[in-house]
Structure 1
Amino acid sequence: MEKLEYRSAASHAEAGNAPAMKVKLLSAAANATTYIISFFKGDEVVSGLAGFALEYGVKSAHFQGIGSAFSVELGWFDFDRLEYEVIKVGIAEVTSLNGNITWYQDKPVVHAHATASERGGLVKGGHLLTMNVGPTVEVIVTVEPTLLNKKLNPEFNATMIDYDL
């Protein structure tokens, strides 16, 4: 029997692990800016989105995407352990990628959920921990002007948006 792996709900990806990532401005309006970000072989998506937030001065954003990956790690939140049970997915079509970017302790936080289809169409989904890109993952990001910060909620050992800041 395979031993279960767990990850903290309070940990967040560090920027800098998406060297082939490309960004293009799609539109700029008075209150929002929209970009397309393309990730390529070897890029890690969560890290790349955190790096994008740092480089482009993102205060908050939301995004959606699709693509393919060589590997994906999803998380299912275990309320007894207050950690994510890791769900490993091999080569997959990324059928949905959605989330937001906020800030915690002066670092960008990417909160994403994804579904990924393995060969034969079996779909797995959950909180996105890591996504290592195959040929490409394409993400549309809308950047908003309002700063959103997170704080640690000790009841769940997870960071959540702080509406009092």
Structure 2
Amino acid sequence: MHAQQINDAPERTFALVLDPRDEVVAELERFAAAEGLAASRLTAIGAFERVTLGYFDWERKDYLRIPVDGQVEVLSLVGDIALLDGRPKLHAHVVLGLRDGSTRGGHLLSADVRPTLEVVLTDSPAHLRRVYDPASGLALIGKR
């Protein structure tokens, strides 16, 4: 992954370019930890060769895993990075374009880049904290 800071006040903004075979969630969380990011938002476009989407099953309080194998276009990836137990945690949703023009989408659980993913990530000076919500079983952005 290559990163360049393109703005630094009042918010820090980075342009990130992920390389083939980079695992998106791990790379973004690693970058956020290295830069001390705690309250970021991001958008991205590019392509993946392997993806696992998630659909939150309210009854089970867990994500159903939806594998998508093969080359896909990232039509839209939006999300945020907030702290969970003191460490950056990515929460992102993605819409994928398949070869026949159909789409698949959901919560991004994992993805391998091919050939690239272009990310614009902006860190806010205000900190977001994830707090465990027992009603949903999810770590949600909580009130301070």
Return the TM-score normalized by structure 1.
0.84
In structure 1, the partner of 2:123 is: 143
Conservation of the 8 A alpha-carbon contact between 1:89 and 1:116: no
Conservation of the 8 A alpha-carbon contact between 1:74 and 1:129: yes
- Whether 2:143 is the aligned partner of 1:163: answer yes
Of 101, 104, 127, the residue aligned with 1:124 is: 104
In structure 2, the partner of 1:33 is: 12
The within-5 A match list for 1:55-66 is 55-66=34-45
Paired amino acid for 2:58: F
Of 123-132 and 83-92, the range deviating more from structure 2: 83-92
- Whether 2:102 is the aligned partner of 1:104: answer no
Instruction: Report the alpha carbon displacement of residue 83 of structure 1 after superposing the two structures with TM.
Output: 0.9
How far apart are the structure 1 equivalents of 2:41 and 2:100? 31
How far apart are the structure 1 equivalents of 2:131 and 2:12? 26
In structure 1, the partner of 2:64 is: 85
> SS at the partner of 2:135?
coil
Conservation of the 8 A alpha-carbon contact between 1:89 and 1:118: no
> SS at the partner of 1:148?
coil
Paired amino acid for 2:5: L
Runs of at least 4 residues of structure 1 off by over 3 A? none
Unaligned stretches of 5+ residues in structure 2: none
Paired amino acid for 2:50: S
Conservation of the 8 A alpha-carbon contact between 1:74 and 1:87: yes
Unaligned stretches of 5+ residues in structure 1: 1-20
> SS at the partner of 1:46?
helix
Aligned residues: 143
> SS at the partner of 2:33?
helix
How far apart are the structure 2 equivalents of 1:68 and 1:23? 18
- Whether 2:35 is the aligned partner of 1:47: answer no
C-alpha RMSD over aligned residues: 0.9
Conservation of the 8 A alpha-carbon contact between 1:50 and 1:109: yes
Return the TM-score normalized by structure 2.
0.96
Paired amino acid for 2:51: V
Instruction: Report the alpha carbon displacement of residue 59 of structure 1 after superposing the two structures with TM.
Output: 2.1
The structure whose residues are more often strand, as a share, is 2
